[in-house]
Structure 1
């Protein structure tokens, strides 16, 4: 079996500058590089936090994110990529920090099967944060 590791997730946004600011201010990502993808007509940036990366696309003439893609229960009803998820040590501590930063908390899960939450970035894209139980 070929070996591989995770490299990055990607999101499309209406404003690259606003997204670079949001990912930095709210989640602590730093700008790694900016570039233009001619074939996609996309002003693009790669942001990084340690080994984690996000590729952010501002595509000329792109359609806005449909409303049903902004909530996890309705988003899963459309085929395709859904979100990326990151592990947090404490959901409650993470939520407190995100609320202090004014982040848009879309959905919180506190169930027997697990605890986590979804944030919406500045363009409405969903990002999941999961608290893994201590074994």
Structure 2
């Protein structure tokens, strides 16, 4: 038994060039709703917290921020750079989820169908990678 206090996941964070466009994208594409907006003076960042059930994303817009490098927009090349990679969500039916994402014209970056499970990465409106997986049931 560990003496580490319990903790659980609260949110993922992304930086985008246009906060309003990102709020709309996360709402229209993934069903997140705006929870609140605020300003972080120390980072000169306009921020929105969006929520879907217990899941949250914190979205930052910072004037003068650099765009996401091209190699960070594709999963096989992104893992070649140290640092955070993506957040992943589980779906019950991957094929149904992928169909909906294609109908919504989401930017599907990468699809995997393996014996251990299947999933995909989509890019948000700023190119940030988000993974969705369906685990094989034993």
Give distance in 2, aligned partners of 1:4 and 1:112.
31
2:130 to 120, 127, 131: 127
Alignment of 1:5-20 (within 5 A): 5-20=8-23
Q: CA deviation at 1:113?
A: 2.6
Residue ranges of structure 1 left out of the alignment (5+ in a row): none
2:7 to 4, 8, 33: 4
Q: TM-score, normalised by structure 2?
A: 0.96
The number of residue pairs the alignment matches comes to 135
Q: Are residues 1:116 and 2:119 paired?
A: yes
Give distance in 2, aligned partners of 1:32 and 1:110.
34
Q: CA deviation at 1:58?
A: 0.2
Q: Deviations over 1:79-99 (max 9, x none)?
A: 000000000011110010001
Q: CA deviation at 1:73?
A: 0.1
Give distance in 2, aligned partners of 1:85 and 1:71.
15
Deviating runs (4+, > 3 A) in structure 1? Answer: none
Residue ranges of structure 2 left out of the alignment (5+ in a row): none
Q: Are residues 1:26 and 2:29 paired?
A: yes
